[in-house]
Structure formats: structure tokens, C-alpha cells
Amino acid sequence: MSLRTSLLPEKQRALINLLHHISHMLENNSCVCCLTVNFSKAFDTVSHTVLLHKISAFGLPGSIHDWIVSFLIWREQKCVVYGVCSPVLHITHGIAQGSGAGPTLYILMKSDLSTLSSINVISIFTDDISLIVPQYCDVDLTAEFENIQLWATCNKMTISLTLSHTTHTHTHTHL
């Protein structure tokens, strides 16, 4: 990543990365499909157990690992309405999206999500992923989406089909 690119906001970097891969694929294909997949209530539904298992596999120093554990677990919540307090509930899911660590932990949650084909590309941006599949490929869009669905199930995540969509990009043909 160049210095110019590293200074851009995250959304712009993600878009530039996506356009780079689509442009590169269009050099050898007349069509590229991009499937944008949205995870329902993504930050709110992250399983602490699943995330901590993944973080343990990174081999982080003990103090960093312990800090992440303390950030995620032993949290409780209650609701008070008109002076009446609900029972205290232990929180086992969710990452604080507005926190400094939240988005990074969410990206770590998706770090093992990969394509079936080395030709296809997954671009991760917060609660969305973009799957890019060229016209000529050994694994089609349907198989790749089934792979994402399997990953979501194994990681206790839910895909929002109403917020997910497909875009087709074609090269310009001259008659």
C-alpha cells in the first residue's frame, strides 16, 4: 500500500481495492460479478466464544490476549424503567462498534473467510464483504456464496439477504 493510499479513509481504501480487482479481472474477461454480502446485526451478534477461539490461534502475547478477553467477557447489562430494574444478564455476544477495538476485532472475526478459488477475491469492509468473480473461473458465484453461507453458519453469523446484492460489470464492446 502506498503512502497516499494509506492516508485515505477506510471506506475509500476499500473502494479503491475493489475497483482495482474488478479492473484487473476485466483485462481477461468481458464480465465480472460482484456480490456484496451484508451480515445482519453484525457487530451485535459476534459470538465471544468463536472470536476468542480465533484470537487464540493468532498467538498474541499474553497481555494483549488477556486485554481482549477482559474487553469481551464478564460484561453484564440491565434495564431500568420507571425505577424498576430488570434482571442482570451476562453478555455473550457483540462487540462495541463505536469503540476503538470493535472494528478491528470484527475484522479478526472474518479473517479466516476465504474464497474457494484463488482467482476470486473477497474484500472485507466492516459488516460487508464483496465477493468478486470473473466470467472465466473454476468456481462460480453460486458455489462461492454457498461457501460464505457455510462460514456464516459455522461462525454463528446471519447473512441479510435483503441487504445483499449482485452487480455485473461488463467491458465496453464496439460494433
pLDDT in tens, 13-51: 777 888 888 888 888 888 888 888 888 887 777 888 898
Read off the C-alpha cell for 50: 468463536
What's the CA angle centered on 170, arms 165 and 171, to 5 degrees?
155
pTM metric for this prediction: 0.78
pLDDT of residue 107: 81
Task: Pick 175 or 138 by higher pLDDT.
Answer: 138
Q: How confident is the model at residue 173 (pLDDT cuts 50, 70, 90)?
A: low
Query: What's the N-to-C CA distance of the chain in angstroms?
Result: 39
pLDDT of 3 above 50: no
pLDDT greater than 50 at residue 66: yes
SS3 (DSSP) at 11: helix
pLDDT at residue number 145: 93
Query: Which of 39, 75, 70 has its CA nearest to residue 52?
Result: 70
Q: Which residues pair with 166 in a beta bridge?
A: 35
Residue 143 pLDDT? 94
Average pLDDT, the chain: 82
Cβ contact 110:156 at 8 Å: no
Residue with cell 484463488: 118
Joined grid coordinates for residue 101: 477495538
For the stretch 106-164, pLDDT in tens is 888 888 999 999 999 898 776 788 888 998 889 998 999 999 999 999 999 888 888 88
- Arithmetic mean of pLDDT, 90-99: 78
Q: Name which residue leads in pLDDT, 131 or 175.
A: 131
pLDDT-derived band at 175, boundaries 50, 70, 90: very low
